[in-house]
């Protein structure tokens, strides 16, 4: 059975390479060189669907930028839109991208194949829009350095804020993609990939370099643009009547190379599947083992889903008490309880949040926060390190934020005022955190308690959002947005 299965997969890979020209034949968007194999592997991970959406968005935006370079229009005509959406969806499925991933990412709505930014549908209209020159100046490649990328993103955010005002996030997302396409249409493929890596916050985009123009360029009838095969090889063969022998030798060679690559991919695929199965088995065993060490709480912890606790370190009450110097290192208080600074025996420093009393509501908040933070991972969200459950005591251990809360810097006397540049960067960091919660969580989350005391600053004044006790999961996909621009006016 294993031999027949391998043969079936091998045949599918060869068939896939033969069918790609047919799939993308009627769509004018050029997806050649797109690393769809990487997209499939990223989208297979259900924990980080936001990254999957950013990869799909980036590849579509790069293809629109290529199209804009040739036609000066930001996307295909309306009569070709459905054709492109269908053909691209089929290509993604052929490479193993789950259909529910494109549905979750809003392919065709949040990720269109043509951009209309408040009536601007051409490159010229975007280039001539107010303050676009600032974006072009700040987004000059290379953008591989983090400081240059941040400068580019800040210029783009300021440009979109002045252009759109208080528009909905769908318009903001479309205009962001239109801004990228207008910029990328003015540069070569390598530079376009560099800009896309910065704009969409992803790495590993693989675009084949443009071949140098031949000395004698023959007129060739237009041919459909083909998406790259898994081996990322895009070959163009010019037929000549005087080289039949050469072609008869080349064709078997190409066939052998494709077969060899397919076999290698098959072996790698089998290894990855076996490794994933072992990880799942280990994860299930760890979850069962960790449940034995939970002492019975005063009320059953209903909200804590099975497996969430195994992702974090479990501390004992004794070591928590010792790390906080008998709970004398208070650094803050809130509705949830008191926060202490803890220095653990291994040298790690954490902020320990203690629940004041074990009520039904408090227990629900405690369980809800663990459940939420178990699936939230973002550089602008305060990370949960561990927890402690012992009798009536409940503790959450977070990463320690050296510079405290934004409220301390805005309202505490004797503090050095924050510079405007720092304030703007804090606003952008909080906006990035909210964008992640609203668009890239499944289901989307609404924090519902954004305020200066819940915005914490690390040693480099990088802002991170904290306190998810009131976070609300929107099962129907609707989102209530929290204002963050007020930070600049305080």
Residue 308 has pLDDT above 70, yes or no: no
Query: Does residue 275 lie in a domain region?
Result: no
Same domain, 94 and 57: yes
The predicted pLDDT at position 206 comes to 60
Task: Report pLDDT digits (tens) over 226-240.
Answer: 333 343 333 333 334
What's the CATH number where 433 sits? Answer: 1.10.510.10
Whether residues 315 and 416 fall in one domain: no
Per-residue confidence (pLDDT) for residue 301, from 0 to 100: 46
Q: Which domain holds residue 456?
A: 406-489
Sign of CA dihedral 118, 121, 123, 128: negative
The reply to whether 176 and 318 lie within a common domain is no
**Same domain, yes or no: 18 and 151:** yes
Rounded to an integer, the average pLDDT of 457-468 is 89
Residues 168 and 33 in one domain: yes
**367, 399, 431 — which closes off a domain?**
399
* Paired strand residues for 355: 337
Domain termination residue (choose one: 357, 379, 399): 399
CB 297 within 8 A of CB 393: no
Distance CA 109, CA 60 (A): 13
CB of 108 closer than 8 Å to CB of 85: yes
**pLDDT tens digits for 473-483?**
555 544 444 33
> Do 419 and 382 fall within a single domain?
no
For residue 435, being part of any structural domain is answered with yes
- What pLDDT score was predicted for residue 181? 92
Domain-embedded: residue 300: no
Q: What is the reported pLDDT for 473?
A: 59
Give yes or no for residue 152 having a pLDDT over 70: yes
Q: Are 83 and 26 in contact (CB under 8 A)?
A: yes
- Total domains present in the chain: 3
* Distance separating alpha carbons of residues 113 and 100, to the nearest angstrom: 19
* Chosen domain end from 378, 399, 420: 399
Catalytic residue numbers read 449
Return the closest-CA partner of residue 99 out of 86, 118, 83: 86
Query: Per mean pLDDT, which range of 75-89, 251-265, 297-311, 444-458 is the poorest?
Result: 297-311
Q: Is 322 annotated as a binding residue?
A: no
Q: Would you say 342 and 352 are in contact if contact means Cβ atoms under 8 Å apart? A: yes
CATH code, domain carrying 324: 3.30.200.20
Instruction: Say yes or no: 332 and 474 in one domain.
Output: no
Per the domain annotation, does 254 fall within a domain?
no
Whether residue 352 is found in the same domain as residue 436 = no
Are residues 466 and 394 located together in one domain of the fold? no
Query: Are residues 319 and 424 part of one domain?
Result: no
Task: Identify whether 265 is part of a domain.
Answer: no
On whether both 193 and 173 belong to a single domain, the answer is yes
336: CB partners within 8 A, 6+ apart: 353, 355, 356, 362, 365, 467, 469
68 shares its domain with 15: yes
Residue 299 lies in a domain: no
Residue position matching structure tokens 């010792």: 322
Q: 455-457 and 313-314: which strand pairing?
A: unpaired
Mind listing the pLDDT tens digit for each residue in 7-54? 455 555 545 444 444 344 578 888 877 777 888 888 888 777 788 888
| pTM, to two decimals | 0.42
Specify whether the CB–CB gap between 488 and 463 falls below 8 A: no
Max distance between CA atoms of the chain, in angstroms, equals 89
């Amino acid at each position: 059975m294993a031999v027949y299965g391998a043969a079936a997969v091998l045949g599918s890979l060869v068939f896939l390479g033969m069918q790609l020209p047919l799939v993308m034949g009627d769509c004018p968007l050029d997806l050649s060189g797109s690393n769809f194999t990487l997209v499939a592997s990223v989208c297979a991970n259900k924990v980080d669907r936001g990254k999957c959406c950013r990869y799909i968005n980036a590849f579509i935006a790069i293809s629109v930028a290529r199209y804009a370079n040739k036609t000066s229009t930001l996307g295909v005509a309306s009569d070709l839109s459905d054709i492109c959406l269908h053909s691209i969806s089929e290509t993604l499925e052929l490479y193993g991208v789950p259909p529910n991933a494109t549905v979750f990412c809003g392919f065709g709505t949040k990720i269109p194949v043509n951009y209309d930014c408040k009536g601007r549908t051409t490159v010229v209209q975007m280039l001539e829009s107010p303050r676009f020159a600032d974006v072009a100046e700040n987004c000059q490649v290379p953008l591989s350095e983090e400081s240059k990328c941040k400068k580019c993103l800040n210029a783009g955010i300021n440009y979109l804020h002045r252009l759109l005002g208080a528009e909905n996030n769908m318009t903001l997302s479309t205009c962001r993609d239109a801004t990228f396409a207008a910029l990328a249409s003015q540069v070569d493929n390598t530079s376009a990939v560099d800009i896309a890596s910065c704009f969409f916050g992803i790495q590993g985009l693989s675009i084949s370099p443009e071949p140098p123009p031949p000395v004698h360029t023959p007129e060739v009838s237009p041919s459909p643009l083909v998406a790259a095969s898994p081996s990322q090889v895009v070959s163009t063969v010019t037929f000549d009547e005087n080289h039949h022998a050469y072609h008869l030798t080349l064709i078997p060679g190409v066939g052998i190379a494709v077969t060899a690559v397919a076999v290698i991919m098959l072996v790698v695929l089998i290894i990855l599947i076996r490794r994933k199965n072992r990880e799942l088995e280990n994860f299930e065993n760890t979850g069962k083992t960790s449940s034995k060490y939970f002492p019975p709480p005063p009320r059953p912890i209903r909200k804590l889903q099975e497996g969430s606790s195994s992702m974090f370190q479990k501390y004992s009450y004794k070591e928590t008490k010792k790390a906080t110097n008998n709970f004398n290192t208070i650094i803050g208080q809130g509705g949830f309880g008191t926060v202490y600074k803890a220095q653990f025996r291994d040298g790690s420093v954490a902020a320990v949040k203690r629940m004041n009393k074990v009520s039904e509501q408090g227990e629900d908040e405690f369980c809800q926060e663990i459940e939420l933070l178990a699936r939230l991972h973002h550089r602008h969200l305060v990370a949960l390190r561990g927890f402690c459950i012992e009798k009536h005591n409940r503790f959450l251990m977070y990463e320690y934020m050296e510079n405290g809360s934004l409220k301390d810097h805005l309202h505490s006397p004797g503090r050095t005022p924050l510079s405007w540049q720092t304030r703007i960067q804090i606003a952008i960091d909080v906006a990035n955190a909210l964008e992640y919660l609203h668009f890239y969580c499944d289901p989307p989350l609404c924090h519902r308690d954004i305020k200066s005391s819940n915005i914490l600053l690390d040693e480099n004044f990088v802002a991170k959002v904290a306190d998810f006790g009131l976070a609300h999961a929107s099962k129907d996909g609707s989102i209530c947005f929290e204002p963050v621009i007020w930070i600049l006016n305080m």
